[in-house]
Amino acid sequence: MPVIAIFGPTAIGKTGVAIELGRLLRERGGDPLAINCDSIQVYKGLEVISGAASPEDQARLEHRLLSFVPVDTEYSAGKFGAAARDEIDCALESGRQPILVGGTGLYLRAAISDLEMRPPVDPKLRTEVESEIESRGPEALHAELPDEFSGQVHPNDRKRVARLTELVRSGAEPHPDHQGGGQLWTTSPRHPTLLIGLVEEDAPLVEKIRRRVDSMARGGAAAEADSAASAGAVRTVRAAIGFDEFRQGDLERVVTLHRRYGRRQMTWMRRLDGIVVLDRTGLGDDEVAAEILEHLDQIPSRVA
C-alpha cells in the first residue's frame, strides 16, 4: 500500500483535500488516517495560529501527531521524523492508509525518508545565540558567518541566521542543505509514496489567505499567542507566522508573511523528486481528491 503525501503552500486547502480523499478511500473499503507534517501544528495550544485541523475535521478523518508538544518545549525535525515513521509503519502494518498532510518540507522529507538529521543544538548555546540576536541584531551575526553559510540566508532572517550561527559554533561542516545535508533531496522514500503537490493561481490563493487570516483573528489567534507567551513559548513557537502580528492587530502583515512563506514552500516543492503537481484552481476538494485517487491506482504497492 503506497503512502500518500499532500504538500502545498499555506491556505491552499491540504486538509480539506485529505478529508475528501479519506472519504473516497473509505468508500472503497479503505481505512485512512492523516499524519500531520507541519512544524507548528505539533504544538498544543496553537491550533488557531497554525491552521490545524479542527475537531470537526478530525471527526471526519483521524489525525495523528497533532497538538501534542507543549509550547515551552523545543521539538526538532529529527524527533518528528522518528515519530512520523513509526506512525506510518504502524498504519501500514495494520492495513491502514497513511495520508501525510502538511506544508513543512523538512518535516515531510523526514517522515518519508531515513534522513540523518543533525543532533539538537545544546540549549545553553541556543540561549547565548538568542541573546546575541536580541542585543546585536541578526545582521551582525550574519556578517560573522562563513561564506558557505552566509549565502544561504538573508541577513534579516532572524530564525535562520540564529540556526546557522548555532551550527557554526557547534562545529558543523558547511553544506548548502544544512539540515540533513545533500541527502535531503536524494534519499529515497522508505515506502512506495505518491507525493502530491498542490498549486493554484495567485489571485484565488491570496483570497484564501485573507479569509484564513480573518478567520484566525476572529477565532482567537491573539489570545492564543498571549497564552503561549505566558507559558514560556520557545523560539520555534514564537517564530510562528502571526505570533506577534496577531497580538498587535496587524492582519495585513500576517497576510504578507503567509504569502512570503507560500513562495518558500513552492521552492521546496520544485525540489521534491517525483512529485505529482496538481493545479487545483477552480476545483473543489472532492475533485482534487478524485484526481489523487487516479494517480494512486497507477502506483505499485511494492518495490521490486
φ, ψ for residue 64, nearest 5 deg: -120, 160
CB 6 within 8 A of CB 14: yes
> Quick one: 102 and 134 in the same domain?
no
Has residue 302 got a pLDDT over 50? no
> What gap in Å lies between CA 276 and CA 263, rounded to an integer?
18
Look up the pTM and report it.
0.81
Q: How do residues 52-89 score in pLDDT, each as one tens digit?
A: 999 999 999 999 999 999 999 989 888 999 999 999 99
Residue 181 is predicted with a pLDDT of 45
**Structural domain total, the chain:** 2
Note the residue count of the chain: 304
> Quick one: 51 and 156 in the same domain?
no
Q: How do residues 115-162 score in pLDDT, each as one tens digit?
A: 765 656 778 888 899 899 899 998 898 889 887 666 667 777 788 788
104 belongs to a structural domain: yes
Residue 301 is predicted with a pLDDT of 55
Residue 120 is predicted with a pLDDT of 65
> Quick one: 47 and 135 in the same domain?
no
> Quick one: 149 and 88 in the same domain?
no
> Quick one: 93 and 196 in the same domain?
yes
> Quick one: 16 and 112 in the same domain?
yes
> Quick one: 131 and 146 in the same domain?
yes
Residue 16: C-alpha distances to residues 60, 69, 258 (Å): 10, 24, 19
211 belongs to a structural domain: no
Per the DSSP assignment, residues forming a β-bridge with 195 are: 5
> What gap in Å lies between CA 277 and CA 111, rounded to an integer?
20
> What gap in Å lies between CA 170 and CA 149, rounded to an integer?
14
222 belongs to a structural domain: no
227 belongs to a structural domain: no
> What gap in Å lies between CA 99 and CA 112, rounded to an integer?
11
> Quick one: 135 and 27 in the same domain?
no
Q: What is the CATH number of the domain that holds 63?
A: 3.40.50.300
185 belongs to a structural domain: no
% of the chain exceeding 70 in pLDDT: 89
74 belongs to a structural domain: yes
> Quick one: 82 and 63 in the same domain?
yes
> Quick one: 279 and 153 in the same domain?
no
* DSSP for residue 117: P
Q: How do residues 256-300 score in pLDDT, each as one tens digit?
A: 999 999 998 998 888 888 899 999 999 999 999 999 999 999 887
Residue recorded with cell 478529508: 19
> Quick one: 51 and 159 in the same domain?
no
76 belongs to a structural domain: yes
> Quick one: 15 and 102 in the same domain?
yes
- Give, for 98, the enclosing helix (H) or strand (E): strand 97-101
CA 32 to chain centre: 20
Domain region containing 145: 123-169
